[in-house]
């Protein structure tokens, strides 16, 4: 296991929620979770670009980190339609999601591009949340492990070991995500999380590699969150649909936190 004493719980609101809906959501989530000590919980929300400035202003970053769903690797230039790290700095974003499966598969981003974004995010002081995961076809061919190792090795290429403590990973099997997704079983997720932790230890050395939290995402819901979080190598959950209602997200947070700390043998407060 990673030895992490903090649970990581976050949501990506994808291309849903306008400014008002996002502000209502983060404000309600902050109110509902205010009593939970943040030394045991890293809570984050990744809304759409147009909502970032308002979202960041409406809740303190000590309670909820706000992330962008993507970012260009260049500071400025002839990149029509892209958002630069400088623009994200201006709105006070804390983290940047890189290589979400919808970016990789709908918009054809590749590992080398994700790597440039990871390096740019670190350069600008954002936490890069690198998403990895195999497609259903790759799983059927029995090459899930090769695919994920490649995504990690290329995605984090050139990241110095001393910066490893500043990155996060989400394992999101493509076949598990979204309305047509089928959640991974806890045993399958655990097997892949163990592989991810091993690969990170190989890349950054054991001590530094162990600092990287690895979250599971893909059809996490009320029914499977508890089974997933008790697995030894799962450090948190990255949730889509089941977290878009703040009250529902809060109830998942309250269910999984005690189980996580029992597993880690530590108290959350
Ligand atoms: P769902 O939980 O809706 O499957 O989405 C997961 C996801 O893509 C988070 O980034």
Q: Of the residues 172, 190, 193, 210, which is catalytic?
A: 172
- For the question of residue 267 being annotated catalytic, the response is no
pLDDT tens, 90-131? Answer: 999 999 999 999 999 999 999 999 999 999 999 999 999 999
- For the question of residue 100 being annotated catalytic, the response is yes
- CB burial of residue 157 (10 Å; 0-12, 13-18, 19+): middle
- Tell me if 12 CB under 6 Å of ligand 1: yes
Both tokens assigned to 225: 């969150």
Q: What is the mean pLDDT of the chain?
A: 96
Q: What ligand 1 atom has the least distance to the C-alpha of 97? A: 10
Neighbours of 76 (CB within 10 A): 11
Question: What is the pTM assigned to this prediction?
Answer: 0.96
Structural contact between residues 175 and 181, judged by C-beta atoms closer than 8 angstroms = yes
pLDDT at 188 over 50: yes
pLDDT tens, 1-43? Answer: 444 589 999 999 999 999 999 999 999 999 999 999 999 999 9
pLDDT of residue 1: 45
Q: What ligand 1 atom has the least distance to the C-alpha of 11? A: 9
Closest CA to 71 of 31, 116, 125, 29: 116
- Tell me if 241 CB under 6 Å of ligand 1: yes
| First-residue to last-residue Cα distance in the chain | 21
Q: What ligand 1 atom has the least distance to the C-alpha of 177? A: 4
* Distance of CA 162 from the midpoint of ligand 1 (Å): 30
């Amino acid at each position: 296991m990673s030895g992490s004493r903090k649970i990581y719980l976050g949501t990506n609101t994808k291309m849903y929620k306008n400014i008002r809906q996002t502000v209502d959501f983060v404000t309600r989530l902050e109110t509902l979770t205010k009593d939970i000590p943040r030394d045991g919980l890293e809570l984050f929300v990744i809304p759409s670009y147009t909502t970032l400035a308002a979202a960041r202003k409406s809740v303190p970053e000590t309670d909820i980190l706000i992330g962008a769903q993507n970012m260009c690797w260049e500071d400025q230039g002839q990149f029509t339609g892209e958002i630069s790290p400088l623009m994200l700095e201006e709105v006070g974003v804390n983290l940047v999601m890189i290589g979400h499966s919808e970016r990789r598969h709908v918009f054809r981003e590749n590992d080398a591009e994700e790597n440039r974004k990871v390096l740019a995010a670190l350069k600008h002081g954002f936490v890069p949340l690198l998403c990895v995961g195999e497609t259903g076809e790759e799983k059927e061919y029995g090459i899930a492990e090769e695919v994920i190792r490649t995504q990690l090795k290329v995605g984090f290429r050139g990241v110095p070991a001393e910066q490893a403590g500043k990155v996060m990973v989400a394992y999101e099997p493509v076949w598990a995500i979204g309305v047509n997704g089928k959640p991974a079983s806890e045993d399958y997720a655990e097997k892949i999380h163990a592989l991810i932790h091993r690969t990170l230890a190989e890349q950054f050395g054991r001590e530094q590699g162990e600092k990287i939290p690895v979250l599971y995402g893909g059809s996490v819901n009320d029914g499977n969150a508890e089974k997933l979080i008790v697995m030894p190598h799962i450090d948190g959950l990255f949730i889509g649909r089941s977290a878009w209602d703040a009250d529902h997200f809060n109830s998942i947070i309250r269910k999984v936190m005690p189980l996580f700390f029992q597993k880690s043998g530590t108290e959350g407060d």
